[in-house]
Amino acid sequence: MDHAAVLARYDLEMRRNARPDAPGARTERAGAVVRQVADGRGWNGVVWSGLDAAGADRAIAGQIAYFTDLGRDFEWKLYGHDGPEDLGERLSAAGFRAEEPETLMVGEIADLTLEERLPDGVRLVRAADAAGVGLVVAVHERVFGTDGTALRDHLLARLAADPGTVLAVVALAGEVPVASARLELVPGGDFAGLWGGGTVEEWRGRGLYRALVAHRTRVAAAHGCRHVQVDASVMSRPVLERLGLHALTTTTPYLYKR
């Protein structure tokens, strides 16, 4: 893989020309910044910036003022190759709080090792209604220890308004949800996003994460996508590397609360 070329395509398609990720949200360009604006339950934040040292502080202040006027907390999603080099320090000085960095990993679907082998007694079920989404959210809350209300709202809204752009899937051991994940598609896009993959602790190490990656990747390929991309945690990165994905850069959420 030509890392620089793929990263440039990713920046152009998924960031500079970003599309809103939920019904009712919108993307806007404000100078050298692209942002998403949603209601209070959706994701609000900066998805791309092309800043230099001379204009960075002014741009940061502008986004703080904009989202504060809307009454929104927001995120500045900072990638490791974004300029200027001290942009993270500038965000921190302006009142943002950095969360744990993750690794942007991208794989060319044709080159990936896709093995959808499940433990005995486990099956994958697509979540197509409120009950199915509830199972996905239940796993999410157990694995990540966070409130799944926003995820539930996001999935239900996407499934109702544009079901062809999202796939939520849960692994059931009998009738017990033990792993879940989702796939998000941009119509006509090159990159499919693999999000939220997680397995409850007692079922880890049995291939469920790999099976969920394989299942979603096959769906992405059927929709004409060439690449899959993941914001990978420290735990998932080694698994993804073994499957054939490449680390291209880091991504760090910087959160601003009014």
pLDDT in tens, 102-159: 999 999 999 998 988 999 999 999 999 999 999 999 999 999 999 999 999 999 999 9
Share of the chain above pLDDT 90, in %: 92
Query: What tokens appear for 3 in the block?
Result: 């890392």
3-state secondary structure (DSSP) of residue 26: strand
Q: Quick one: which of 106, 112, 104, 78 has its CA closest to 215?
A: 112
Query: What tokens appear for 243 in the block?
Result: 């499957």
Residue 27: count other Cβ atoms within 10 Å of its Cβ.
15
User: Residue 70: phi, psi to the nearest 5?
Assistant: -80, -10
Give the tens place of pLDDT for each residue, 49-71. 999 999 999 999 999 999 999 99
C-alpha distances out from residue 91 to 30, 60, 73, 79, 146, Å = 17, 7, 14, 13, 25
Decide: 227 and 106 in contact? Cβ < 8 Å.
yes
Q: Could you tell me how many residues make up the chain?
A: 258
The overall average pLDDT reported for the chain is 96
Decide: 191 and 202 in contact? Cβ < 8 Å.
no
Decide: 102 and 233 in contact? Cβ < 8 Å.
yes
Whole-prediction pTM: 0.93
